[in-house]
Structure 1
Amino acid sequence: MGFLFVLSTLACMAAFVATYYFFVRTTTGQYIDESALVEAATINGPTERATTQFLDWLPVISVAIAAVVVLFVTIMRRRWKSAGIAVAACVAANLATQLLKDWFPNRPFRGVQTIELNSLPSGHTTLAASAAAAVFLVVSPRWRPLAGFLGGTFAVAAGVSTLINQWHRPADVVAAFLVVGAVMLPAGWLVLRTGKRWNVEDGRGEHWASSRVWLSLSTLAGVVAAALAVYSLIGIASDFGQESTTNYFWAGVSLIVITGYLATVAATWLFGLNARRRQSP
């Protein structure tokens, strides 16, 4: 089981490096990323106020949700070590994002008109995703499928909102998801090691929060986003050399949604596999 956590962590780190290199260091990547950001201006008219308010409240909402759930579980279930690990990992993920943003050099000029200051990874997305991940780690196995779907949806909504408001490019959001994964996966392994007694299926039948419907919804969202990505790419190819449309924007949204829900499905499956193994004789 530990091997799967190591492999998943390394995959997040490798994907982060690839995301940075392609979308920041190459001309093609910069053009795709910047085009999505520019085209967001045609979308944010009717949605700007709602997404701005959401982003303004996002830090408070993220901290409040995580604090309430973690404190409740800690006090009621006495999972002190697990709560400490989850909170420490949440802080570490946000610190890592800020350090990476400062350490990375400005975006090199590749012939694409863009703001040179580095904005990768997205701090707002990291906060939302890490708070959701902290909740996911401390709840019992029967609640994790529901917590994964709701947390993944919350993180995806935060990431898409930053794009709509033109605060961040799609790659910034994807990089934030990967940072959270690289930090929270080792923390999850520690939670499983320190909470062996409660990190098992209770054997009392399927609970509504552990229903397969939550994993199915995450998978469905990823499939729909993949279809949208294909449609957008076809539109980009057919409109090549013509006036800009919103195909790059929707392709960027698809990338965010696919990454966010893919992480949700992977984490739910990985932790669920551990719970089932511990239950078996």
Structure 2
Amino acid sequence: MPDLVPRPQPTRAASAVVLVLSAVGFTAVYVAGVLTRPGQVLENRALDASTFLASPGGLLSLVSAANIGIALGVLVLLGVALRRFRATARAVGVVLVSTVLSQLLKNGLLARPDFVGDVSANTLPSGHTVAYASVLFALLIVLPSKPRTIAALAASVVLGVVVVQLLAFGWHRSSDVVAGLLLVTGVMALAHLVLPDRGAPPVRSDSGTRTLLALGAVVGGVLIVASIAFAATLALDTSLATTHALLLASQIMCLAVVSLAVMTVLWVQRSAPARLASRGAPLAHSGA
């Protein structure tokens, strides 16, 4: 009888790549959007097209320390019920580390120089984006493969609505939102490197997950190409760079990053198949 040796290795190389790319992307967004005069001018013009609402209600009104605590409690209970203890520890770590790190960066470590007479304080990364992204990504970490696919679709919709509202209501600039998404994505990848799964049954992505990964990558790619094409058009004809056009471009770009970020979480969640370690037996895969 061949011995089944379960050695599911979450793709550590993939996690490392995601962590590095997230850190590089975060730095690039901060430099381009905050530390350069053209970046500040463009983002402030997009901000001028927003309709500021101090209390818009809906999803934005749900972000608070108490509600984040409740979400953490629900995640822990769910993880214990599913007996996914290491995944639950990762999920809680993602929420806590992302939240603390975002506040440290926004309120102390990062500065916003005044290039355009803008005396507002630094708002990068967006705390609302970090709150929603960290909780939703944590949910995707805790859930098993099959329900994770449906949850990823719901998470994409919720997070998409949040980032569009943050821009439309003038609460944040696009660099704040994108930096928040990259921060949580990087922390998620770090959590997988620090606390990988061990001793769990080997898992392969099911057809639904693979389809969603492909669809999300396509949607994100198309939106990014559209953003680049729009930026190139505005560069060639600056008369088209109205405040509303810039706001729309910012929202499209942020939706692209939402799609790619959620797909990245699903991608990192994959596990390697187990091996049949007897007489050179081939790899054996168990579906999930």
TM-score category, normalised to shorter length: 0.7 to 0.9
More displaced stretch, 18-27 vs 81-90:
81-90
Q: Quote the offset at 1:58 in angstroms.
A: 3.9
Q: Distance in 2 between matches of 1:127 and 1:17?
A: 20
Q: Does 1:85 align with 2:90?
A: yes
Aligned to 2:164: 160
Aligned to 2:253: 255
| SS of the residue 1:246 aligns to | helix
| SS of the residue 2:49 aligns to | helix
Q: Which TM-score applies when normalising by structure 2? A: 0.79
Contact 1:85 1:191 in 2 (8 A): yes
Q: Distance in 1 between matches of 2:226 and 2:47?
A: 17
More displaced stretch, 82-91 vs 235-244:
235-244
Q: Distance in 2 between matches of 1:50 and 1:261?
A: 27
Among candidates 190, 215, 218, match of residue 216 of structure 2: 218
Aligned to 2:12: 2
Q: Distance in 1 between matches of 2:217 and 2:148?
A: 15
Mark the CA change 1:124 to 1:198 in structure 2 (over 3 Å): closer, same or farther.
Answer: farther
| SS of the residue 2:238 aligns to | coil
Q: Does 1:29 align with 2:39?
A: yes
Q: Distance in 1 between matches of 2:223 and 2:99?
A: 27
Q: Which TM-score applies when normalising by structure 1? A: 0.81
Q: How many residues align?
A: 266
Q: Which has the higher contact order (CA 8 A, sep 6+)?
A: 2
Contact 1:137 1:188 in 2 (8 A): no
Q: Distance in 2 between matches of 1:219 and 1:51?
A: 31
Q: Distance in 2 between matches of 1:186 and 1:242?
A: 41
Contact 1:5 1:185 in 2 (8 A): yes
Once the two structures are superposed, the pairs formed by residues 186-265 of structure 1 within 5 Å of their partners are 186-190=190-194, 192-194=196-198, 196-198=199-201, 200-201=203-204, 210-223=208-221, 225-226=223-224, 228-230=226-228, 232-233=230-231, 236-237=234-235, 240-241=238-239, 244-265=242-263
Q: Does 1:277 align with 2:277?
A: no
Contact 1:228 1:250 in 2 (8 A): no
* Unpaired stretches in structure 1, ≥5 consecutive residues: none
Q: Distance in 2 between matches of 1:161 and 1:63?
A: 23
* Unpaired stretches in structure 2, ≥5 consecutive residues: 1-10, 276-282
Q: Distance in 1 between matches of 2:125 and 2:93?
A: 19
RMSD of Structure 2 on Structure 1 (CA): 2.9
Q: Distance in 1 between matches of 2:163 and 2:15?
A: 25
Among all aligned residue pairs of Structure 1 and Structure 2, give the percentage whose two residues are the same amino acid. 24
Q: Quote the offset at 1:62 in angstroms.
A: 6.1
